[in-house]
Amino acid sequence: MFADFARIADVLEKLPDKRLAIAFSGGVDSVTLARAAEIVLGKENVLLLFADSCFAPANEKAFALEWAQARKLECVAVPFDPLAIPEIAANTVKRCYFCKKALYTALLREAEKRNFTVLADGENLDDQADYRPGRAAADELDIRHIFVEAKLNKAMIRDLAHDFALPNNQAPASACLASRIPCNIAITPELLQKADSAENILLAMGFAGSRVRIYQDMAKIEVAPEELEKFWKVRQDVLAKFQSFKVKSIALDLNGYKRGAVNGSETPEA
């Protein structure tokens, strides 16, 4: 831990004015960065900016705001309406680029209002090997990637989160709800709500980190490969609980869920 934290501290201590705004999702990456920044820079020099949009799962928003309040860190829920932007709502393969460009522009504006000149995200070394069209937008706006600069990957971040005793240190990777809608299917609030509600059902049944892709009138369920046998035993219960979503068919992906498996094809940054 100490060597990894020392590298982060070195990057943070060299920030202009030693102040940092963070694009804060409430996931393990952004929470770990927030805690590290709190230790190195002090609470008063850390600003957490949560993008309050229809793309954010409800349970993640609740956790993000509650954790920040418990730590007494300033956290601002910044209203963001991605579906008002045609390039995002159309859900092409470049959706994430347009979304991150608009989102980070809004967060930068909020940060500058509060006299924070540097905005960082939670990207790490492993993310650089993944298909992420939103990264180009972040780089165009000079968003800092503190973990990349400190040469930390996901495993190192989870180790830090464990050592920090963060409550979500073992939480599965997440992504915005738009990633549940395959490319070139227009995104609507109704489809997003279906995906969020369906995944919450699976979570309550013990399937952490599952995905439910919504193909208009079909729902495709992805659970971890090691949980496929468990899922098969409760499939009738799942079918009963999914009836309210008014889909014509429900499919199970026999490959199981694997992060990034559909990146660059069906839906980006999934």
Tell whether the model's pLDDT for residue 131 goes beyond 80.
no
* pLDDT for residue 216: 78
56-91 residue pLDDT tens: 988 889 999 999 999 999 999 999 999 999 999 999
Residue 3 predicted with pLDDT over 90: no
pLDDT tens across 172-193, in order?
877 899 999 999 999 999 999 9
State residue 268's pLDDT score.
Answer: 46
Is-contact 264 93, C-beta < 8 A? yes
Domain 2-163 classified CATH 3.40.50.720? Answer: no
> Could you tell me whether strands 20-23 and 46-52 are parallel, antiparallel, or unpaired per DSSP bridges?
parallel
Record the pTM.
Answer: 0.90
Q: Please write the tens of the pLDDT for every residue from 14-39.
A: 998 999 999 999 999 999 999 999 99
Partnered with residue 79 across adjacent β-strands are 52
Structure tokens at 260: 């990034």
List pLDDT tens digits, range 158-175.
Answer: 999 999 999 998 888 778
Domain positions in the chain are 2-163, 177-252
